[in-house]
Amino acid sequence: MLQSAFAALCQGREANRPQSIEQLLAGVMQLLPMLDVIPNAAIFIKDLDARYVLANRTLVQRCGLKQLQPLLGKTSAEVFPAQLGPGYTEQDRRVLEQGFVLEDQLELHLYGSREPGWCLTHKWPLYNHVGQIIGLAGISVDLQSASETHPAYQRLAAVDAHIRTHFNRRVTLGELTRIAGISVAQLERYCKRVFHLTPRQMIQKVRLEHAHRLLHSDLPITDVALQCGYTDHSAFSRQFKASTGFTPRQYRQLG
């Protein structure tokens, strides 16, 4: 997969790691023309201060820019809207300061129209030849449309419809496998192939989409959590923040 290949390219074996972020960039820059033609993935490298030092054309365009140069030296908080940017930068800090690896994180992103949409984000710390973190590499891949030609599509469409109808309560893998008539392992595998998400991510996505709508109303946040299927208010807040970078209350205050 694209994200695996990019991670391997940027991290590499310890013996082959660069001495500095500049040395790493010298090698990766040769691949930028190839990265520029990938339309559904924002690809980037940042320095120790979480500032962009490399980005592909897709990311440049999503920041409302025409060229890469104005993006360089800035953090996500400086180039993305207030509802999204600070959360991305906070995420970057965890990678840079703790060596945290982010994998397959379902979160909001911006498309070319500046409208929010869903993506799966991956971030990895970058190390030099003596094991020190010198930056981070990341890729956010757009959540693609369902693969309707897959043989299991009709079964999984019923699963998706069930989730969208019953997301406001606990939805178990057991009931989803009964609807699809397949095993848990098959359900996990086919959902990734058809919807590009695990069953749990499918449930999470529908719940958070509903939460976004409700947070624009005057409904108390505790009630928002309940209506989105969360019996634990703190669990709702954690998952919402992982997706947007803000707690539900902070997101509502941003308007």
The CATH number of 153-254 is 1.10.10.60
Q: What is the dihedral of CA 79, 81, 86, 88, to 10 degrees?
A: -70
Q: What is the pTM of this model?
A: 0.81
For residue 58, which of 74, 44, 78, 77 has the smallest C-alpha distance?
44
Over residues 19-23, mean pLDDT: 90
pLDDT digits 0-9 by tens, 152-161: 899 999 999 9
Q: For the chain, what are the domain ranges?
A: 2-142, 153-254
* pLDDT given for residue 110 in this prediction: 61
Q: What is the DSSP string of 15-53?
A: GG--SSHHHHHHHHGGGHHHHHT-TTEEEEEE-TTS-EE
Q: What is the pLDDT of residue 148?
A: 86
> Among the listed ranges 5-9, 22-26, 87-91, 117-121, which one has the minimum average pLDDT value?
5-9
**247 half-sphere exposure, CB direction, 13 A CA radius:** 8
226 sits in which H/E element: helix 221-227
How far apart are alpha carbons 21 and 44 in whole angstroms? 13
pLDDT, tens only, 215-247:
989 999 999 999 999 988 899 999 998 887 788
- Give the CA dihedral 82, 251, 237, 171, nearest 10 degrees: -110
Confidence of residue 202 (pLDDT cuts 50, 70, 90): very high
Specify the DSSP class assigned to residue 243. Answer: H
For residues 100 and 175, give the distance between their C-alpha atoms in angstroms, rounded to a whole number. Answer: 34
How sure is the predictor about 170, in pLDDT bands with cuts at 50, 70 and 90? very high
Distance CA 221, CA 246 (A): 13
State mean pLDDT over 114-137.
89
pLDDT exceeds cutoff 90 at 85: no
Q: Does an H or E element contain 91, and which?
A: helix 85-98
The two three-digit tokens of residue 215, written as one number: 């947070």
**Strand (E) or helix (H) holding 206:** helix 199-214
pLDDT at 206 over 90: yes
| CATH architecture of the domain with range 2-142 | 2-Layer Sandwich (3.30)
If you ran DSSP here, which 8-state letter would residue 134 be given? E
Average pLDDT over residues 59-83: 90
pLDDT at 114 over 60: no
Question: Which pLDDT value is given to residue 11?
Answer: 59
Residue 115 is predicted with a pLDDT of: 63
